[in-house]
């Protein structure tokens, strides 16, 4: 496949090990955000990157910091702040992948929802790169367990969400304790006034790298439906889910309360559904994300904040239960579908009370929004779609030295299930989760209950709503 030389990674002034690794990963051509931001990042400038999730920004700042990193100096040289633990884990994973060709690089994640003590131990052993959430990083910085004296690059990833989640004070504290002489990179899907103020306060002559968040109509088909009241709104959601019959759908709500209510009502109607919002305990959040990502659950009802870091490439449908409060957030939401080259469908519900938001969205999208007719009531006669997989929880994880290969081996060993019947395997600190086809669930449970992982028997259970 021919490519434009100016957008080839090889056109950048990157060290050869990084370029070789990029080539082995199949990365040849830069995405628009990478082509716009990487030359300036490598040149050591402060950069503001604006682009939607899935635009390739992690590789942009990841390559920049790896290019600058001096492995022989075993000091914390880069700090990446992310709004959620899920996103921090995702970013750390991507950086480790990009750093494969450079030996002895230590990347450490520091997030809330996990014990503080072991993190102190890990910090005492040292690291080059820290990826974490603002609250937990601030705690370590204030207690003196995380020292930023040698920090060269500070990165704020999804800065708009960090502010929405109330992390302004934590960010201020961390920046205050960082060296003045540093490079600062700020990535954000939207660029509201609050972000502009932060950029002015913490960056020096930043370069703006903005990728338009518009979507190709051929990739995402947008539909709008007018509803009268809450009752009709819920009926509309049911009709849309039944007519599209998606394997994976996300319904965005504007509040945590509404998110839970919509999920509970859909559950009552027999849908395979879970809610994702800020009031959930970390373990429940992990389980919800894992079960949705591995296709055990077909519908996820979520708030915008909670859904950041949701790593799903093939969402069939996105439904906006209400029009988003901000037009950029609307575009960001619908950008979750139609990714990775697949076709996507975005459905938005609105009432007369939302005419102001509809007007703003019309200006933003440069189109007239008119309500379409909802699917016929006869679609409700079908049975709601359920996830094709089932999730098994194993009471052992990284700390018990359990690895994905051990789980796969235990399932597919003598008289076991077929490898093709095993889906995603996720290993967290103290738990592991494996998706298996529903038809193979009984045998899979038996294999894991009777078999051994790392010479030990762990408790296992089928996760149901």
| 45-87: pLDDT as tens digits | 999 998 766 678 899 999 999 999 999 999 999 999 998 877 8
Contact status, residue 205 vs residue 68, Cβ threshold 8 Å: no
Rounded to the nearest 5 degrees, what angle is found at the Cα of 34, between the Cα atoms of 292 and 31? 65
* Percent of the chain whose pLDDT exceeds 70: 92
Strand (E) or helix (H) holding 455 = none
> Which CATH number is associated with domain 5-210?
3.40.50.300
Tokens 């050869």 appear where?
16
DSSP 37: H
Q: Report d(CA 407, CA 418) in Å as an integer.
A: 13
Best CA proximity match to 45, nearest among 181, 205, 177, 198: 205
Q: Are strands 422-427 and 432-437 parallel, antiparallel or unpaired?
A: antiparallel
Torsion of CA 162, 167, 172, 174, to 10 degrees: -80
Whether the per-residue pLDDT at 360 is higher than 60: the answer is: yes
Contact status, residue 384 vs residue 270, Cβ threshold 8 Å: yes
Whether the per-residue pLDDT at 174 is higher than 50: the answer is: yes
The CA-atom distances, in angstroms, between 449 and each of 53, 68, 333, 391, 424 are 39, 48, 41, 15, 19
Whether the per-residue pLDDT at 352 is higher than 50: the answer is: yes
> Which tens digit of pLDDT belongs to each residue from 396-411?
998 998 887 788 878 9
Query: What is the gyration radius of the CA atoms in the chain, in angstroms?
Result: 23
CATH superfamily of 389-463: RRM (RNA recognition motif) domain (3.30.70.330)
pLDDT at 216: 47
pLDDT at 54: 64
Whether the per-residue pLDDT at 267 is higher than 50: the answer is: yes
Provide the CA 100 distance to its chain's centre, in angstroms.
22
pLDDT band at 39 (very low <50, low <70, confident <90, very high): very high
pLDDT at 339: 53
Q: Report d(CA 263, CA 359) in Å as an integer.
A: 29
Compute how many other C-beta atoms are within 10 angstroms of the C-beta atom of residue 351: 17
The CA-atom distances, in angstroms, between 56 and each of 31, 94, 344 are 6, 10, 19
> Which tens digit of pLDDT belongs to each residue from 232-257?
999 999 999 999 988 889 999 989 99
Q: Does residue 106 or residue 368 have the better pLDDT? A: 106
Beta bridge partners of 67: none
pTM: 0.59
pLDDT at 308: 64
* Percent of the chain whose pLDDT exceeds 90: 50
pLDDT at 340: 46
Contact status, residue 191 vs residue 315, Cβ threshold 8 Å: no
Q: Does residue 65 or residue 169 have the better pLDDT? A: 65
Here the tokens at position 411 are 């399932």
Helix-helix angle 57-68:85-98, to 10 degrees: 50
pLDDT at 91: 94
Q: Report d(CA 137, CA 80) in Å as an integer.
A: 10
Q: Does residue 362 or residue 274 have the better pLDDT? A: 274
220-381 and 5-210 share a CATH fold = yes
Rounded to the nearest 5 degrees, what angle is found at the Cα of 51, between the Cα atoms of 46 and 54? 120
> Which tens digit of pLDDT belongs to each residue from 202-215?
999 999 998 865 44
Rounded mean pLDDT, 119-144: 93
Q: Report d(CA 237, CA 187) in Å as an integer.
A: 33
Best CA proximity match to 387, nearest among 422, 438, 342, 343: 438
pLDDT band at 169 (very low <50, low <70, confident <90, very high): confident
Q: Are strands 47-50 and 207-210 parallel, antiparallel or unpaired?
A: parallel
pLDDT at 325: 82
pLDDT at 450: 85
pLDDT band at 114 (very low <50, low <70, confident <90, very high): confident
Q: Which residues, in sequence order, are CB contacts of 348 under 8 Å at separation 6+?
A: 222, 223, 224, 225, 319, 320, 323, 330
Q: Which CATH number fits domain 220-381: 3.40.5.50, 3.40.50.300, 3.40.50.2300, 3.40.50.970?
A: 3.40.50.300
Best CA proximity match to 184, nearest among 201, 203, 160, 168: 203
Average pLDDT in the chain:
87
pLDDT band at 217 (very low <50, low <70, confident <90, very high): very low
Q: Report d(CA 149, CA 172) in Å as an integer.
A: 16
pLDDT at 64: 94
Whether the per-residue pLDDT at 324 is higher than 50: the answer is: yes
First to last CA, the chain: 46
Task: Break the chain into its structural domains and give their ranges.
Answer: 5-210, 220-381, 389-463
Compute how many other C-beta atoms are within 10 angstroms of the C-beta atom of residue 8: 16
pLDDT at 1: 33
pLDDT at 47: 96
């Amino acid at each position: 496949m021919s490519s434009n030389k100016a957008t080839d990674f090889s056109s950048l002034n990157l060290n050869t090990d990084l370029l070789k690794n990029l080539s082995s990963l199949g990365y040849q051509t830069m995405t628009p955000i990478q082509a716009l931001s990487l030359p300036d990042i490598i040149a050591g400038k402060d950069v503001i990157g604006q682009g939607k999730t899935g635009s390739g920004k992690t590789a942009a700042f990841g390559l920049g910091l790896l290019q600058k990193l001096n492995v022989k100096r075993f000091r914390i040289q880069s700090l990446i702040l992310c709004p959620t633990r899920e996103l921090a884990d995702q970013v750390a994973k991507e950086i480790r992948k990009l750093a494969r060709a450079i030996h002895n690089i230590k990347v450490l994640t520091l997030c809330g929802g996990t014990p503080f003590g072991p993190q102190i131990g890990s910090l005492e052993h040292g690291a080059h790169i820290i990826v974490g959430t603002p609250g937990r990083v601030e705690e370590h910085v204030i207690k003196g367990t995380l020292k930023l004296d040698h920090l060269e690059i500070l990165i704020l990833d999804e800065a708009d969400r960090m502010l929405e989640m109330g992390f302004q004070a934590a960010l201020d504290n961390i920046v205050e304790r960082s060296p003045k002489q540093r490079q600062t990179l700020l990535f954000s899907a939207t660029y509201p006034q609050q972000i502009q103020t932060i950029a002015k306060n913490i960056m020096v002559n930043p370069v703006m790298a903005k990728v338009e968040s518009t979507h190709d109509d051929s990739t995402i088909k947008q539909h709008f439906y007018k509803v009268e009241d809450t009752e009709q709104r819920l009926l509309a959601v049911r009709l849309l889910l039944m007519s599209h019959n998606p394997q994976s759908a996300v319904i965005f709500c504007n509040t945590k309360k509404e998110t839970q209510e919509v999920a509970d009502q859909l559950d009552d109607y027999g849908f395979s559904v879970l809610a994702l919002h800020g009031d959930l305990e970390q373990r429940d959040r992990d389980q919800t994300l894992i079960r949705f990502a591995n296709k055990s659950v077909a519908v996820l009802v979520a708030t915008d904040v909670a859904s950041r870091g949701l790593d799903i490439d093939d969402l069939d449908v996105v439904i906006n239960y209400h029009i988003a409060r901000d037009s950029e957030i609307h575009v960001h939401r619908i950008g979750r579908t139609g990714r990775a080259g697949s076709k996507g469908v975005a459905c938005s519900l609105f009432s007369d009370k939302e005419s102001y938001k509809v007007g703003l969205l019309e200006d933003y999208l440069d189109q007239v929004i008119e309500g379409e007719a909802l699917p016929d009531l006869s679609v409700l006669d079908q049975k709601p779609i359920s996830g094709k997989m089932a999730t098994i929880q194993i009471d052992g994880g990284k700390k018990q030295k359990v690895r994905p290969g051990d789980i796969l081996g235990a399932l597919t060993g003598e008289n076991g299930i077929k490898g093709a019947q095993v889906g995603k395997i996720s290993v967290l600190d103290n738990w592991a989760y494996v998706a298996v086809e529903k038809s193979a669930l009984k045998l899979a449970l038996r294999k894991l209950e009777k078999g051994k992982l790392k010479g030990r028997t762990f408790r296992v259970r089928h996760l149901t709503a």
